[in-house]
Amino acid sequence: MAEALEGWLAALAATDGAALNTLVAYRRDVTGFLGFLALHRGEPPGPATLAGLAATDLRAFVARERGRGLAARSVARALSAVRSFARWQAATGGAEPTAVLAARAPRSPRRLPRPLAPEAARAMLAEVAAGADPPWIAARDLAVVTLLWGLGLRISEALALQGADRPLPAVLRIRGKGGRERLVPVLPAARAAVEDYARRSPHDLAREGALFRGVRGAPLGPRAVARAVEAARQRLGLPASATPHAFRHSFATHLLAAGGDLRAIQELLGHASLATTQTYTAVDAARLMEVYERSHPRA
């Protein structure tokens, strides 16, 4: 089974272009499931084990994981990895793992994104710009956060930019989750913020190195950005949901509120499924109902 697991992961990397973080998570999830089977059935799982599983075995796995305190979303991800592994095993000559493929994940409550209001986002940017010393660090933090809100980037995507990416072009090519590439228009304000940081930075921003650097010149990590955003939102009295990722949510929600096309927003965000982007329509509808209930004379 260890050999089969390695073969599956290699296939995901070669044919699907799976990212390293995805492969690490899949390895952990499938290894955990195989370890459970060894204890549950009293013997190490072999090549035919998955095909011989019953629905009760899968329910026992889900119960064990929930009993360990895992959230429904985490259990669903693990089952998805196991199903993918089982499907690959069947395609490469194994028997059909019917129970595994039919396994249902526990339902998780639907969590809506929690974006910032436009005025709160602007206040956060101003606070981040004024919140660090020396000034080049404040300029760096402002540039990163501007990319999150102005371009809808994930923090990992912003921090993956290289010195060769500046000055930012009119359209930036971003490689996101699952190796998917997308083209994102660059706002003049974002380009200006990056150039201001680059002028102030004491480090040599070589073309082949990271664009955003830490105090000692190493590539900037996400925790430093999270600390800057956390300090800014505390000074402004904003809720704990005002995180770096909230700026990406805000990008999508503000575009949608301004009449943006859902398909276009999907492309800008790099979502593989339109269903993921449609979550933002629920946010917009929820906000509309709040305004209605607060403002209508019969409310």
Check if 64 is active-site.
Answer: no
CB 280 within 8 A of CB 252: yes
Of the candidates 83, 140, 154, 233, the residue annotated as catalytic is 154
Of the candidates 177, 200, 235, 287, the residue annotated as catalytic is 177
Check if 197 is active-site.
Answer: no
Check if 77 is active-site.
Answer: no
Of the candidates 140, 248, 249, 254, the residue annotated as catalytic is 248
Check if 83 is active-site.
Answer: no
Check if 263 is active-site.
Answer: no
Check if 296 is active-site.
Answer: no
List active site positions: 154, 177, 245, 248, 271, 280
